[in-house]
C-alpha cells in the first residue's frame, strides 16, 4: 500500500504538471501568437541515443493493480489532448549481434524492440506462420511466402497491436512493458538448431534465434527485468511451449536468477488426432499433423524440452503437441486456445467454405471441441472460448472476447496476481479466475466471439446464419436436446 500511495502521488504531480502545460499551451484565446517550435525529442533506436519516458515501475504495485490502472488510464486520457508531438509507438528493427544465427536463406535474423525505461516487465512475442518440412515444400514456401524465410525485405519499424499495443485502452495491463517482436523466418515451429547445408538448402535455427535475442536484450535492460513473458501465436504459440524452459535455463545459467520467466501460448495447442479424411501429404496444410512433424523434426534438427524428449525418446515429435509436452514444462504457462481452431480444422481436412458441411463433418467439429476441452481440463491457467477462429492476443478485438464474463486481459492480470501472491505465500485473489473454458457445444455459441463474415459476400453473419451456413439442422438438434425448436433458436440468438 505504501508503494501504491507513493506512485499515486507521482501520478497526481504529473497530472498537475500536464494540466499546467495544457493551460500554458492554450492560454491566449483563439489566436495565440505564433511561436517557434522547439526541436522534437529524439527517441532511442540504437544504444547511445536519448529517450523520453515516464519512469514508472508497475511491478511495485501489483497488489493493488486495479486501482492503479484506473489512475493510469485517467493520466493517459488527460495527456492525449496535450501531446506536443506524435509519440513514438513503433518497435524498431535490430539484427542479431551473432551473425551466424540466420533465417532460412542465410539472411540475418533479428527482432523489433520498443523499450519502456520505467518498466521491469518484458514481453517477447514469437510470430507464427505454418512451416515446411522438406526441400520441395520449403522451395515453394520461399517463392510464395519469402517474408517467412528471409529478412531481406523486413521494414525498419513495426507497430504493436493487441497485447503488443502501447495504448492502455487496447492493452490495459501490458501497455507499458518493454515490447519485443521476433519475426518468424525459420519455418521450423521455433525448434531448429541446424545451419544451412547443401542437402537441406536452408538453415533451421528457430530455437537458436530465441536464445540469441534474449542474450542481445540483456545489454538493453533485460538484465534488470523482474518478469519476462514469452508469448506467441499459432506456430509461435507452439514455440512458446518448446522454448519457455530453455529461456529460463539460459538466464539462470548466465546468472540472472531474479527474472521470472513465464509463457503465453496462443492458438498453438494442436491435437494429433485423426483427419476427417486422408489426403496425399504434399504440404503442411494437407498433411496430417503427426506426419508433417515427424518429417519436419528430422529435416530441421528440431530441439524439444529435455524432460519431454526423455519421456518420448525415439518419438520426439510428440513434444510438438500441447497436451503431451505441457506436463514436462516447469515454467508457468497460460494457454489461450479457441475450442474450434480454424488451423486445426484445416489440417484435419474440414473445409468451411462453399457448400454447407455434411452431418459427418458437423459431428467431427463438435467432437473436436470435446477433445480440446478434455486436453485442457488439467491446465491451471487457460482461456478457451467456443469460437471458430485462429490467433487472438495480437488482434485489436482481443479485449472483447469473454468466457463466463471474464475477458482475456482480465484473466491474464488475474494470473499475474496469482503468481505474485504464490511467491509471497498469500492466498490467491478472490473473484479473479484463471481457468476459463466455455461449456456450450457449438462453434460461436459464445456471443462475444469475433465477427464471422461470409467469404463470398463479405457480409457479417450472426450465430444462426453461421450455423445454418454450416448445415446446422435446428429441428433435429432441438429434438436431440429435448427442447422446442423455437426455444433453441432463442438460446442461439442470445448466445446462451
Q: What is the DSSP string of 60-113?
A: GGGGGHHHHHHHHHHHHHHHGGG-SS-----EEEEE-S-TTSB-TTSPBPEEEE
How confident is the model over 379-391, as a mean pLDDT? Answer: 95
pLDDT for 441: 82
Residue 81 has pLDDT above 70, yes or no: no
390 is catalytic: yes
How confident is the model over 234-249, as a mean pLDDT? Answer: 98
pLDDT one-digit tens code per residue, 46-69: 333 333 333 444 444 545 555 665
How confident is the model over 17-23, as a mean pLDDT? Answer: 40
Q: What order do you get walking across the sheet with 91-95 strand by strand? A: 157-158, 91-95, 110-114, 178-182, 121-126, 227-233, 260-266, 333-336, 382-384, 435-437
CA nearest neighbour of 194 among 280, 284, 302: 302
107, 165, 187, 234: which one is catalytic? 234
Quote the cell numbers at residue 77: 486520457
Cell 504493436, located at residue:
160
User: Residue 431: CB partners within 8 Å, gap ≥ 6?
Assistant: none
pLDDT one-digit tens code per residue, 242-291: 999 999 999 999 999 999 999 999 999 999 877 766 666 666 666 778 88
What is the four-CA torsion angle of 98, 99, 100, 104, rounded to 10 degrees?
120
Q: Across 36-40, 49-53, 312-316, which has the greatest mean pLDDT? A: 312-316
CATH topology of domain 87-446: Rossmann fold (3.40.50)
Percentage of the chain exceeding pLDDT 90? 57
- The better pLDDT of the pair 451, 394 is held by 394
Residue 294 has pLDDT above 80, yes or no: yes
Percentage of the chain exceeding pLDDT 70? 70
Whole-angstrom CA distances from 175 to 8, 116, 135, 169, 194 are: 18, 9, 41, 9, 35
173, 256, 390, 420: which one is catalytic? 390
Per-position b or e across 383-397, b if 16+ CB within 10 A of its CB: bbbbbbbbbbbbbee
Do 231 and 171 form a contact (C-beta atoms < 8 A)? no
How confident is the model over 443-463, as a mean pLDDT? Answer: 73
pLDDT for 464: 62
Give CA–CA dist 307/305, Å, rounded: 6
Give CA–CA dist 492/387, Å, rounded: 13
How confident is the model over 80-101, as a mean pLDDT? Answer: 76
Cell 466455455, located at residue:
438
pLDDT one-digit tens code per residue, 321-350: 999 999 999 999 999 999 999 888 888 777
277 is catalytic: no
Do 438 and 422 form a contact (C-beta atoms < 8 A)? no
How confident is the model over 15-29, as a mean pLDDT? Answer: 38
First to last CA, the chain: 41
341, 348, 416, 438: which one is catalytic? 341
How confident is the model over 7-24, as a mean pLDDT? Answer: 42
256 is catalytic: no
pLDDT for 122: 98
The overall average pLDDT reported for the chain is 81
The structural domains of the chain, with segments of one domain joined by +, span 87-446
* CA 293, chain centre distance (Å): 22
Amino acid at each position: 500500500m505504501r508503494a501504491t500511495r507513493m506512485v499515486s502521488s507521482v501520478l497526481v504531480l504529473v497530472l498537475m504538471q500536464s494540466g499546467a502545460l495544457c493551460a500554458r499551451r492554450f492560454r491566449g484565446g483563439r489566436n495565440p501568437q505564433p511561436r517557434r517550435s522547439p526541436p522534437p525529442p529524439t527517441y532511442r533506436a540504437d544504444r547511445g541515443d536519448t529517450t523520453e519516458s515516464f519512469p514508472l515501475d508497475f511491478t511495485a504495485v501489483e497488489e493493488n493493480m486495479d486501482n492503479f490502472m484506473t489512475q493510469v488510464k485517467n493520466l493517459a486520457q488527460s495527456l492525449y489532448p496535450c501531446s506536443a508531438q506524435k509519440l513514438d509507438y513503433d518497435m524498431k528493427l535490430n539484427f542479431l549481434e551473432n551473425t551466424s544465427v540466420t533465417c532460412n536463406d542465410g539472411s540475418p535474423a533479428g527482432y523489433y524492440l520498443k523499450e519502456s525505461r520505467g518498466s521491469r516487465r518484458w514481453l517477447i512475442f514469437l510470430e507464427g506462420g505454418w512451416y515446411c518440412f522438406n526441400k520441395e515444400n520449403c522451395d515453394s514456401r520461399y517463392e510464395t511466402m519469402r517474408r517467412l524465410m528471409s529478412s531481406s525485405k523486413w521494414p525498419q519499424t513495426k507497430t504493436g497491436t493487441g497485447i503488443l499495443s502501447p495504448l492502455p485502452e487496447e492493452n490495459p495491463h501490458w501497455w507499458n512493458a518493454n515490447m519485443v517482436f521476433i519475426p518468424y523466418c525459420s519455418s521450423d515451429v521455433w525448434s531448429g538448431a541446424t545451419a544451412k547445408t547443401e542437402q537441406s538448402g536452408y538453415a533451421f535455427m528457430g530455437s537458436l534465434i530465441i536464445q540469441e535475442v534474449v542474450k542481445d536484450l540483456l545489454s538493453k535492460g533485460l538484465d534488470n527485468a523482474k518478469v519476462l513473458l514469452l508469448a506467441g501465436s499459432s506456430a509461435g504459440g507452439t514455440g512458446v511451449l518448446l522454448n519457455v524452459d530453455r529461456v529460463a535455463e539460459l538466464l539462470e545459467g548466465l546468472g540472472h536468477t531474479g527474472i521470472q520467466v513465464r509463457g503465453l501460448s496462443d492458438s498453438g495447442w494442436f491435437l494429433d488426432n485423426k483427419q476427417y479424411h486422408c489426403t496425399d501429404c504434399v504440404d503442411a496444410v494437407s498433411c496430417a499433423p503427426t506426419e508433417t512433424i515427424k518429417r519436419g523434426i528430422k529435416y530441421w534438427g528440431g530441439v524439444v524440452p529435455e524432460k519431454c524428449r526423455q519421456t518420448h525418446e525415439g518419438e520426439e515429435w510428440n513434444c510438438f503437441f500441447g497436451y503431451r509436452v505441457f506436463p514436462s514444462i516447469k515454467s508457468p504457462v497460460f494457454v489461450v486456445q479457441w475450442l474450434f481452431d480454424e488451423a486445426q480444422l484445416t489440417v484435419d481436412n474440414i473445409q468451411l467454405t462453399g457448400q454447407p458441411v455434411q452431418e459427418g463433418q458437423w459431428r467431427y467439429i463438435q467432437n473436436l471441441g470435446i477433445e480440446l476441452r478434455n486436453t485442457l481440463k488439467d491446465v491451471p491457467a487457460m482461456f478457451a472460448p467456443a469460437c471458430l477462429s485462429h490467433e487472438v492476443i495480437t488482434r485489436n478485438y482481443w479485449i472483447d472476447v469473454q468466457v463466463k464474463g471474464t475477458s482475456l486481459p482480465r484473466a491474464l492480470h488475474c494470473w499475474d496476481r496469482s503468481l505474485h501472491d504464490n511467491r509471497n505465500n498469500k492466498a490467491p485473489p478472490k473473484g479473479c479466475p484463471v481457468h476459463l473454458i466455455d461449456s456450450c457445444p457449438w462453434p460461436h455459441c459464445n456471443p462475444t466471439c469475433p465477427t464471422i463474415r461470409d467469404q463470398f459476400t463479405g457480409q457479417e453473419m450472426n450465430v444462426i446464419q453461421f450455423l445454418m451456413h454450416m448445415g446446422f439442422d435446428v429441428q433435429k438438434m432441438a429434438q436431440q436436446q429435448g427442447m422446442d425448436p423455437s426455444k433453441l433458436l432463442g438460446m442461439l440468438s442470445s448466445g446462451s
